[in-house]
Amino acid sequence: SPEMGQPHVPTLEKAGILNKTKVLENGKRVRRKNWIQSWTVLHGGVLTFHKDPKSTSTGGSYKSNHIVPEVTVDLRGATIGWASKDKSSKKNVVELKSKNGVEFLIQYDTENIIQDWYKVLGDTIRQLEME
Ligand code: I3S
């Protein structure tokens, strides 16, 4: 645990491609799911979903290294769990709820990949709780 007076920053880091959709915002259900494949980065206790560069194409000047952050989720006070079957027809769906009333579903067909994310997100949430 961190020494007195020193802020503890979670050390777990991970990056990869996940499918995600927002399902709740300000505690209100989003009208329509919008599953999007996102470059997803965990760093410093914050999860960041990035826009698909192809969906923000600027024609001829398109650069594949222009990866734009779209939304961040502060994992402090967040909860994670496997989504029940009524939440989605997809397999391997994880439910991530932030403390400010935003809920995402994250999903990936390959089980190992989603299980690794589930573990690292859960471990980070628990690290933040122990501060
Ligand atoms: O919760 P829903 O309404 O079954 O979610 C599905 C819809 O968002 C659907 O969009 P359209 O209404 O444009 O068809 C998506 O394509 C589906 O992926 C959503 O369901 P799943 O079970 O895949 O989360």
| Longest CA–CA separation in the chain, Å | 53
- Residue closest via CA to ligand 1's atom 17 equals 33
Low-confidence ranges of the chain (pLDDT < 70): 1-9, 53-65
Helix (H, G, I), strand (E, B) or coil at 121: helix
Give the pLDDT of residue 54. Answer: 61
- The model's pTM is 0.85
Cβ of 32 closer than 6 Å to ligand 1, yes or no, is yes
Give the pLDDT of residue 129. Answer: 92
Exposed / middle / buried, residue 47 (Cβ in 10 Å: 0-12, 13-18, 19+): buried
Give the pLDDT of residue 4. Answer: 59
Q: Kindly state the percentage of the chain with pLDDT values over 90.
A: 73
Give the pLDDT of residue 5. Answer: 57
Q: Which two tokens stand for residue 78?
A: 């967040």
- Residue closest via CA to ligand 1's atom 9 equals 33
Give the pLDDT of residue 29. Answer: 95
Q: How far away, in angstroms, is 7 Cα from ligand 1 center? A: 41
